[in-house]
Amino acid sequence: MRRRSIGVNFNEVGIASIRVWTPHAKRVLLRLTNRKADLPLEELGYGYWELITGQLKPDDNYQFVLDDKTLPDPASLFQPEGVHGPSQAVDLKDFTWTDNKWKNPEQDKYIIYEIHTGTFTPEGTFAGIEQKLDHLVSLGITAIEIMPVAQFPGERNWGYDGVFPFAVQNTYGGAKGLMKLVNACHHKGLAVILDVVYNHIGPEGNYFNEFGAYFTEKYKTPWGNAINFDDAWSDAVRGYYTENALMWFRDFHIDALRMDAVHAIKDFSAKHILQEIKEAVNRLIEQTGKQHYLIAELDLNDSRFINPIDKGGFGIDGQWVDEFHHALRVTAGGERDGYYSDFNGIKDLAKSYRDAYVYDGVYSPQRLKTFGNKVEDNPGQQFVVFSQNHDQVGNRMLGERSSQLSSFEMQKLMAAAVMVSPYLPLIFMGEEWSTQSPFQYFVSHSDPELVEAVRKGRREEFSAFRSEGEAPDPQAEETFERSKLNWDDINSVMLDYYKTLIQFRKQLPALSNLNRKNLAVSYDENRQTLLLRRWQHEQKVYCLMNFSKENQPVNFAGNKRLKQVFNSADQKWNGPGVVNSLQPQSIIIYTN
Amino acid sequence: MRRRSIGVNFNEVGIASIRVWTPHAKRVLLRLTNRKADLPLEELGYGYWELITGQLKPDDNYQFVLDDKTLPDPASLFQPEGVHGPSQAVDLKDFTWTDNKWKNPEQDKYIIYEIHTGTFTPEGTFAGIEQKLDHLVSLGITAIEIMPVAQFPGERNWGYDGVFPFAVQNTYGGAKGLMKLVNACHHKGLAVILDVVYNHIGPEGNYFNEFGAYFTEKYKTPWGNAINFDDAWSDAVRGYYTENALMWFRDFHIDALRMDAVHAIKDFSAKHILQEIKEAVNRLIEQTGKQHYLIAELDLNDSRFINPIDKGGFGIDGQWVDEFHHALRVTAGGERDGYYSDFNGIKDLAKSYRDAYVYDGVYSPQRLKTFGNKVEDNPGQQFVVFSQNHDQVGNRMLGERSSQLSSFEMQKLMAAAVMVSPYLPLIFMGEEWSTQSPFQYFVSHSDPELVEAVRKGRREEFSAFRSEGEAPDPQAEETFERSKLNWDDINSVMLDYYKTLIQFRKQLPALSNLNRKNLAVSYDENRQTLLLRRWQHEQKVYCLMNFSKENQPVNFAGNKRLKQVFNSADQKWNGPGVVNSLQPQSIIIYTN
């Protein structure tokens, strides 16, 4: 099978081909760092340079010398000494996969569990995650989603400051560590989604400008100049990211990618880069017969991204729907500042159950413009929803979770509201046992100016909240340590509650089938109640939710044959008990 | 019928409604300039202010006072004293239309004649054009295309420096002058296309920033910050341009718009502004039953713009194909610098005959990237082609036309190559008689710094051509005068040639039907010959072109039943005469 078209690749007899794109260099050398040898690359055309040699061996350190600059490989697979050190050659074939019986589930079977490798376990490594797979299997989720693992500066980072998109973070366990985890997941029946960042490159250890036009000045993003997807020389940059997506699927057996903030990918090309990646992935799927999904974090409410290519879409398989979260949080009585100010509670939650997007061509006061278009024939599995995720928790000043912000009853109601949705549910690590650990923003840069800038940015972002205390220092190791899950504080009632909910979702066809047409929603703004009805063939499921702090009557007429099968107010979930009405902040599920 | 939602509108009894968008003003007044009276507007919400009054009458001058600034109306319909003066109220209903029998032709019947009002006639006015309609009718064209008429600074301008998109240039004859011309055209059986500029606003007399966020800093264009189509407050800006398109159709009876350089419209909204305009025009068409077309100047080779909305396109009816021009000019032996460097002569001309786009997903050396996508089911009437136009002539240092650059034989060959294409042909004014007048770049700004900047830009653009002489001074009146058509230099042979060609196109169903599937092209790079075959039902038309300077044999086998019906080498067209072969730089048309 085709290997990477850039970086280092070893053939079957151990000969390395080394390729790098750097169109303006006059001379390019491969420096064998430990052996003090320099080998010249030859120009191939279109700015690519190549060397085929037996002298570079797996695990050798190397650098490129462009004219007079010595730099790591932009397509490095390993940075043993971090982002500023040399690259290390890795033979991606050198791993014994035993997951040949694994089959990626159908997309609508995904129940996703988001993990930050560094804080999920005390070890903060892939090996640490592997120790917890039995916990995840017994919880019932079907896929883990790992926050970005591309090499970032230092040892502590959410992952969005990665500067080597092909290199797996050294402190997490590197490429082989990730392969071992994926292999183990597949043995346990878990799919693996990897979060990848194609919209920006981190600020420290970013040597891309030395190589060529990886960035363009045409567009601005919140993180500086946009990555060059449509300006001169963009073919190489597009190829770089397409190659990256293929590598995870082909060489790491990753089942799906979660592509970070694709709204910050600025591309006016006749073929959008996401479509180009999708087409490349489709070719890979044809070759291997193995299914892979692309899921985008998308804040444009533009169904073009997820529509099929033959309908003029980009063909992306799914997307996150933050608006479901925002509507749910406001309904649950959360704050209404910032982006929450656009959300009107239960009415918008109902809208999102029905149409996924809340803003689908209507005026958004917060954005001061009309926003979004309509989701038409897209099935429910194209949308990922959640009541918490790393951003929604971690972008609070103190990184508090629902466990610290909402009552136990409301936490249960929100969990169920997600799990009965016609979309793919996502749980943020620890949510399932109502963990008390915060998830705060942390970095470990080595550039003092950058550290100060990040601190300052963080302070300024939360200046309005000064009365609530000081924002934690993102650079401090304690901030990271504080954010680690405490596996000794498991609330077993909540854990059992989540397990039961997930079982319900899997077992009731009316819940597990994600045909959005078999669905109806009604709500009562005064009572703050919402009735979600879903059905599949003969089965009906009614989910009656009460977001108010009062008891509310159960009155849906003509459905006497429905029986209560789940009640979040049940005493077994530490609730106030089952009564003939809806308890405050509770959900009842009925079926026939 | 609905009137403009902005600017001044008079109802049936002469009451004016005045509306302006200026979201940050604290106070907005209507100043009746001649009567020294100020009337306050009321805030409507979303940044709109309104006044309904009987005090403002048609032909009254007025301004807006925003807090302490006195400004013309951004939606002004007339600027009697130019771009810096007051606006004048116009009652668009105050014109007696007599074109009720007019019916916009089917799009595939368009044969377009591009006119610059200021230089087409000695008068340089709409009334001047009206005098020449009989010439155009006898030529056989079916539509005139008028270069932009939106009020620009001074009296001399191509039109792309317009700063009042709703006001018709005062020196051309204003709104009523344009209405009179359109009415006359319709009586003569000519459709009218108007060139409109929605991608930038000119540099002098541009008061838009005083009113609100008409521009965004998100994107850069060759003409500065992009117009705000997707940033905060963009609804009003989108509405402004949508309203503009509707006005030309509804109030001026314009048949089609040519939208300038839509590739410079930067819009990542879930609904592209062009689609929004198209949908608004479709609603107008439904109301009135009158057909209108939107044609884009598009340099992205992205068929999404012209694909139907239900296939994920923006629904634009047609586009210019500069690449056909570039391929044709290179084939005809023109220079190969600048954007021409991407074109390889006859091979690319054949490609453009077949696929419209030359670069349809292949690497463009000039752009240093892969460019374009493929045209699929789009019929030929969606593409406008030409061998000359205002840009291709006027953006040369000396503004020379083909008449000064190519032999008479080659001019005839190029004209025919356009006219037998399966696309909509466009003729640039004067081309039909091989006019010797150049079409140079001219302006008449009043800001000395701007004048100097334009001069400098022009000099620098052509610094490589210094050996060919000095670039004409764009600000000089002589540059404008030199560019006026000289109606005394008509080459009647060429004129007759064009008339005959146009007749052929209209009369032969195999030429007039623009189904791109009934077409085949072959070519011989050594001989520089190209055979274009087109057919419709039983009729076949073969067009055999010789771009070389040598005689070439006629050898297409098995078609003895085809007879020669047109030969550009005919002595009646001042050619070397009809022989048993293809004369140098000639075309023969055969049919059965």
Residue of B114, B291, B370, B258 whose CA lies nearest to A237: B370
Q: Is the pLDDT of residue A529 over 60?
A: yes
Q: Is the pLDDT of residue B453 over 80?
A: yes
Element (H, E) at B111: none
Query: CB distance from A320 to chain B under 8 Å?
Result: no
Contact residues on chain A for B300, CB-CB shorter than 8 A: 268, 270
**CB-CB neighbours of B179 under 10 Å:** 23
Q: What are the CA-CA distances from residue B420 to residues A486, A505, B415, B513, B573 (Å)?
A: 77, 64, 9, 11, 18
Q: Which residues of B are catalytic?
A: 260, 297
**Separation between Cα atoms, residue B216 and residue A538, nearest integer Å:** 54
CA of B373 to nearest chain A CA: how many angstroms apart?
6
Residue A468 among the catalytic residues: no
CB A118 within 8 A of CB A156: yes
> ipTM of the assembly?
0.93
A372: contact with B, CB 8 A cutoff = yes
Give the rounded percent of residues in chain A with a pLDDT score beyond 70.
99
Measured in angstroms, the CA of A74 and the nearest CA of chain B are apart by: 20
CA dihedral B470, B476, B478, B484 (to 10 degrees): 100
DSSP B367: T
Strand extents, DSSP E, A447-562: 519-524, 529-536, 539-546, 552-553
Separation between Cα atoms, residue B119 and residue B482, nearest integer Å? 9
Cβ(A527)–Cβ(A533) below 8 Å: no
Q: Which two tokens stand for residue B495?
A: 């004129």
- Indicate if the pLDDT at residue B346 is higher than 90: yes
Provide the shortest C-alpha distance from residue B558 to chain A (in Å): 41
* Model confidence band, residue B248 (pLDDT cutoffs 50, 70, 90): very high
Burial of B530 (0-12, 13-18, 19+ CB in 10 A): buried
Measured between alpha carbons, how far is B580 from B569 in angstroms, rounded to an integer?
Answer: 11
Element (H, E) at A323: helix A322-331
Task: Enumerate the residues of chain B whose CB falls inside 8 A of the CB of residue A355.
Answer: none
DSSP label of A16: E
Confidence at residue B591, expressed as pLDDT on a 0 to 100 scale = 94
% of chain A exceeding 90 in pLDDT:
91
CB contact under 8 Å between B369 and A231, yes or no, is yes
- Between chains, do A271 and B313 touch, taking CB under 8 Å as contact? no
In what helix (H) or strand (E) does residue A406 lie, and over which residues does it extend? none
- Between the CA of residue B39 and those of A411, B7, B11, B84, B534, what are the distances in Å? 57, 15, 19, 21, 65
In 3D space, the residue among A412, A407, A419 whose CA is nearest the CA of residue A549 turns out to be A407
A161 catalytic? Reply is no
Query: Which residues from A are below 8 Å from B46, CB to CB?
Result: 363
How many CB pairs below 8 Å do chains A and B form together? 73
Residue A336 binned pLDDT confidence (cut-offs 50, 70, 90): confident
CA A586 to CA A554: how far, in whole Å? 12
Longest dimension (CA), chain B: 83
The region that residue A479 occupies, defined by phi over 0 for left and psi between -120 and 50 for alpha, beta otherwise, is alpha
Q: What is the pLDDT of residues B381-410, one digit of tens each?
A: 999 999 999 999 998 999 999 999 999 999
Query: Which pair of tokens denotes residue B404?
Result: 């000064």
Would you put residue A326 in left (φ > 0), alpha (ψ -120 to 50) or beta? Answer: alpha
Of the two residues B138 and B334, the one the predictor is more confident about is B138
Q: Are A349 and A328 within 8 A, CB to CB?
A: yes
Using the Cβ of B376 and the Cβ atoms of chain A, whether some distance falls under 8 Å is answered with no
pLDDT of residue B37: 93
**Cα separation of A381 and A256, whole Å?**
13
Q: What is the pLDDT of residues A279-324, one digit of tens each?
A: 999 999 999 999 999 999 999 999 999 999 999 999 999 999 999 9
Per-residue pLDDT at A5: 85
User: Which site among B24, B316, B367, B369 would you substitute to test the A interface, given the most A Cβ atoms closer than 10 Å to its Cβ?
Assistant: B369
Q: Which candidate in A297, A323, A360, A432 is catalytic?
A: A297
Token pair recorded at residue B212: 């609100």
Three-state DSSP state, A317: coil
Contact residues, A window 14-53, toward B, CB-based 8 Å cutoff? 46
Q: Does B270 touch chain A (CB under 8 A)?
A: yes
C-alpha–C-alpha distance, residues B342 and B358, integer Å: 10
Is residue A67's pLDDT more than 70? yes
What confidence tens digit (pLDDT) does each residue in A458-516 have? Answer: 888 887 776 777 889 999 999 999 999 999 999 999 999 999 999 999 999 999 999 99
Cα A389 from Cα A114, distance rounded (Å): 7
- All residues of chain B having their beta carbon less than 8 Å from the beta carbon of residue A303 are 270
H helices of B345-388, in order, are 346-355
Model confidence over B27-69: pLDDT tens digits? 999 999 988 899 999 999 999 999 999 999 999 999 999 998 9
Sort strands B318-320 and B48-53 into parallel, antiparallel or unpaired: unpaired
Q: Could you say which of A217, A220, A313 has the minimum Cβ distance to residue B218?
A: A220
Average pLDDT over chain B, rounded to an integer: 95
B271 min Cα distance to partner chain A (Å): 7
Q: Which residues of B touch A307 (CB under 8 A)?
A: 312
Dihedral over alpha carbons A426, A432, A436, A440 (to 10 degrees): -20
Contacts of A48 by beta carbon, 8 Å cutoff, 6+ apart: A6, A19, A20, A21, A236
d(CA B530, CA B541): 14
Q: Whole-angstrom Cα distance, residue A90 to residue B218?
A: 40
Distance from the Cα of A313 to chain B's closest Cα (Å) equals 7
The Cα A585–Cα A575 span in angstroms is 10
Least confident range of A160-164, A358-362, A471-475, B567-571? A471-475
